[in-house]
Amino acid sequence: MTYHTFGPGHVSDYIHDEPWLDFTSAQSSHGDLVERWRFIEKHWDRQPIKPVIDLESSYPGALIPAAWMPAHLRAAHRSTKPSNDDHARRAAYWAVFAGAFGHTYGHNSIWQRHAPPRKAVLDSKLTWQEALDAPSAT
């Protein structure tokens, strides 16, 4: 069992010692400049050591506005461009090579199930059905 925290953030910053927490997680967030390996690396310095996963990394097409984040998290979010397919692939590699047991994949159009006539959130360009075939999804 784990918990999905608001991002960018680490579950272990809040409840690492809880006995029910079987593995910990990070939400490394979205954008072009996020150093995802640091979110995973940070967990290896905690005791007891618990497996870690990146539950939310770069979603192609997404750039989370700093205004959506709590003030204490804004400095960690330096990205200026939306994530793209290469960022999503890089996030997967960085998480695993930093010691995570995995990561989850997402896309800006999929999480919001963007499809006309609904208005897109965060400037989604594709419908969710089109995003299922994004290069990073394969």
- Is there a domain that residue 1 lies in? no
- Is there a domain that residue 46 lies in? yes
Map tokens 């709590």 to a residue. Answer: 70
- The answer, yes or no, to whether residue 68 has pLDDT greater than 70, is no
- Give one word for 102, left, alpha or beta, with left for phi > 0 and alpha for psi -120 to 50: left
> Which range is least confidently modeled, 49-58, 71-80, 99-108?
71-80
Greater confidence (71 vs 14) lies with 14
| Mean pLDDT of the region 27-47 | 78
- Is there a domain that residue 32 lies in? yes
Counting every residue written for the chain, the total comes to 138
Greater confidence (32 vs 136) lies with 136
- Is there a domain that residue 4 lies in? no
Q: How many domains does the chain have?
A: 1
Mean pLDDT of the chain: 83
Structural domain that includes position 37: 9-137
- Is there a domain that residue 113 lies in? yes
- The answer, yes or no, to whether residue 51 has pLDDT greater than 90, is yes
- Is there a domain that residue 92 lies in? yes
- Is there a domain that residue 3 lies in? no
The pLDDT value recorded for residue 77 is 60
| Mean pLDDT of the region 106-115 | 90
| Mean pLDDT of the region 70-96 | 77
- The answer, yes or no, to whether residue 34 has pLDDT greater than 80, is no
Residues 25, 1: Cα–Cα separation, whole Å: 10
Confidence band (pLDDT; 50, 70, 90) for 78?
low
Residue whose C-alpha is closest to residue 82's, from 54, 66, 99, 62: 62
- Is there a domain that residue 112 lies in? yes
| Mean pLDDT of the region 69-98 | 78
- The answer, yes or no, to whether residue 130 has pLDDT greater than 80, is yes
